Amino acid sequence: MLKPRPSGLLAGMAYIPMTARSRDEHHRAATPLELFFDLCFVVAIAQAGARLVHALAEGHPGAGVVGYFFVFFGVWWAWMNFTWFASAYDVDDVPYRIATLVQIAGVLVYAAGVSRAFDENDWTVAVIGYLIMRVALTAQWLRAAAGESGAARTAALKYAAGLVVCQAAWVALLFAPDGWRRWLFLVVAAMELLVPVIAERGHQTPWHAHHIVERYGLFTIIVLGETIAASTVAVKSALDEHEALDRLLPIAGGGLLIVFAAWWIYFAVPMHEYLTSNRQAIPWGYGHLLVFASGAAIGAGIEVAVEHAVGKAHVSQLAANAAVTVPTAIFLMTVWLLHSRHFKRGLAQQLTLPLSAVAVLACTWTGTHAVLYAGLVAAATVAVGLTLATRPRR
C-alpha cells in the first residue's frame, strides 16, 4: 500500500509501519534529516580532494586520479544507497531516524579512513565505516520487507541480501595481498552496481522522480560548494605567504566563473520529467559518479593551479592547467550526456556543451591564464545556451 509522507504531529513518531510511499506524492521535498546526512559527506569529499591536490602537486597524476576515483566511489555509493531507499521508504519515525544517524556515523568513520586508503591502499578504517552503514541500511531493507508483500517484499529482501554479500566481499578484500586490492576493488564495485539491477528486476521500488532529482541537485551543490571553499582557502593561504596577486586573481576569477557556469548548466533542465522508470533512472543515477567526482575535482585543480602560481607545486604549467580544465570538461560532457541532450532541440543546442568541453580542454595550452580562459569559455557557454533557448522557433 502506497502512502504519503507523515507530516505535522505524525513526523518523528515512535513507530510507523514501513510501507512504500506514493510515486505521485505532491510537494515531496528533501527532509531536514536528508540535508543533515548530505552535510556529513562534506568531510569525506574534502578528504578525497585534499589527497588529490597533494598527489597532483607532487607530480603523481596517475596514482592521484586512481586513488581519488576509488575513495570517491565509496563516498558516492554510500550516498546513493541511502538516497534511493529514503525516496521509497522514508517514514521519518524514531527507528528510521536512529538508523539514519548510525549511517551518518559510518560516513564519518569512512571519511577518517580516506587518507589511509588513498596513500597506503589500507582500507581497514574505510571498510569499518561501510560496515557500520551497512548494518543500519540492511536493517532498513528488512524492515521494508516486513511491511511489504509479493514482488515488493522480494525486492527488499534482495537488497538486504545483496548488501550482506557485498559487505562480506569488502571485508574479505582487507585480507587480499596489497597488489591485488585495486583490481579486486573493481570486482566488488561491479557487484555493488549489480545489486539494484538484480533487486528491481520484476519490481521497481517507488522512488519519487522529483524528490530524487532534488536530492541529486543538492549533492551537486555540495560538491560545487566544496570547490569554492577549497579554492578560497588556497588563495587565502597563498596571499598570506606571497604577494602574487597578479597571478592569483586570474585563477580565482576563472575558477569562480567555472563554478557559477557549472551550477547554471546543471540546473537548466527539468530532469524529473525525464525520469519515468529504472531504464532512465539507473544510467542517470550511476552516471552522476562522474558529475560529482569531476565537480569536486575542479576545486582540487584550482588549488594545484594556485600552488603552482606561487611556486609550491612541483609540476609544469601544462599539468597545473590540466588539473582544472580536464575535470571541467568532464563535468560539461557528463552533464550534457545525462541531462541536457534530452531537452535540446536542433543541432546548435546539442553541440553547445560538447564544443564547450573541447574549448575548455584547448585552454590547457594557453599558458599562465588558462584557468581564466576556461572560466570565460564556461561563461560564454551559458550565454550561448540562453540565446539559443530563447530564440524563436521557425
Q: What pLDDT, in 10s, does the model give residues 37-81?
A: 998 888 889 889 989 999 999 989 999 999 999 999 999 999 999
The dihedral over CA atoms of 378, 382, 387, 393, expressed in degrees to the nearest 10, equals 110
Residue 1 lies in a domain: no
Name the residue type at position 361: L
Residues 110 and 242 in one domain: no
Measured over the CA atoms of residue 99, residue 105, residue 108 and residue 110, the dihedral's sign is negative
DSSP letter at 340?
G
Question: What residues make up the domain containing 56?
Answer: 30-199
pLDDT < 70 stretches in the chain: 1-13, 241-243, 392-394
CATH of residue 332: 1.20.1410
Tens digits of residue pLDDT in 305-343: 988 888 888 899 999 999 999 999 999 999 999 988 888
Say how many domains are in the chain: 2
Q: Which of 153, 178, 199 is the last residue of a domain?
A: 199
DSSP letters of 283-316?
Answer: HHHHHHHHHHHHHHHHHHHHHHHHHHHTT---S-
Residue matched to cell numbers 543533515: 36
Helices 94-112 and 32-57: angle between axes, nearest 10 degrees: 10
Residues 191 and 134 in one domain: yes
Query: What pTM was computed for the model?
Result: 0.91
Residue 73 lies in a domain: yes
Name the residue type at position 98: I
Question: Can you give the pLDDT at residue 334?
Answer: 96
φ and ψ of 16, to 5 deg: -135, 130
∠ CA 176-178-181, nearest 5°, is 65
Residue 359 lies in a domain: yes
The dihedral over CA atoms of 208, 210, 215, 221, expressed in degrees to the nearest 10, equals 170
Question: Can you give the pLDDT at residue 259?
Answer: 93
Residue 8 lies in a domain: no
Residues 239 and 383 in one domain: yes
Q: Which of 140, 174, 199 is the last residue of a domain?
A: 199
Q: Which three cell numbers stand for residue 381?
A: 557557454
For residues 343 and 269, the answer to whether their CB atoms sit within 8 Å is yes
